[in-house]
């Protein structure tokens, strides 16, 4: 029996983040989009988010079968594939939309996210882990050309470790 749950992460360019999660056994589907900013928009597009004025992060929203993969494993993939110590940037991508952020959908996810961040902080020592942990809000699905970008283009992901 499939037990569907949802997870949402921002870790820089959403193309690369999505490609990481697409490969995991137990992930049912992914969508890239925007979350964490002004929710008064009816629709939101990439150009608006890139102005850094909407407050949104580029995110991947994951539907997963929690009987096959747990949230802890998703958090592990999140932490291991970006730099959580850089404020509002990942590699060459700079701006609030590229921030490191975990959007939790349940209190259980919030608790697991906080614990995992504390564990990662111990690993980094004095270098501050700046990842935000925020209650999930309105998800704006990105334009179709952004969905499964690397897969559509037939190229290997280049924007994450």
Name the catalytic one among 13, 27, 44, 101.
13
- Residue 147: is it exposed, middle or buried by C-beta count within 10 angstroms (0-12/13-18/19+)? middle
Q: Has 13 been annotated as catalytic?
A: yes
Q: At what angle do helices 107-124 and 71-80 cross, to 10 degrees?
A: 40
Distance of CA 51 to the CA centre of its chain: 19
Helix (H) or strand (E) holding 148: none
Provide the annotated active-site residues: 13
């Amino acid at each position: 029996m499939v037990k569907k749950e949802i997870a949402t992460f921002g870790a820089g360019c959403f193309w690369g983040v999505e490609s990481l999660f697409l490969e995991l056994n137990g992930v049912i589907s992914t969508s890239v989009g925007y979350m964490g900013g002004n929710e008064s928009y009816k629709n939101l597009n990439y150009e608006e988010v890139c102005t850094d004025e909407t407050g949104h992060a580029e995110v991947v929203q994951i539907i997963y079968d929690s009987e096959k993969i747990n949230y802890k494993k998703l958090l592990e993939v999140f932490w291991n594939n970006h730099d959580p110590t850089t404020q509002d940037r990942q590699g060459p991508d700079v701006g609030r939309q590229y921030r490191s952020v975990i959007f939790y959908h349940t209190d259980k996810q919030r608790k697991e996210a906080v614990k995992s961040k504390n564990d990662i902080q111990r690993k980094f020592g004095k270098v501050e882990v700046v990842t935000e942990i925020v209650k999930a809000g309105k998800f704006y699905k990105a334009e179709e050309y952004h969905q499964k970008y690397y897969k559509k283009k037939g190229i290997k992901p280049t924007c994450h470790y």
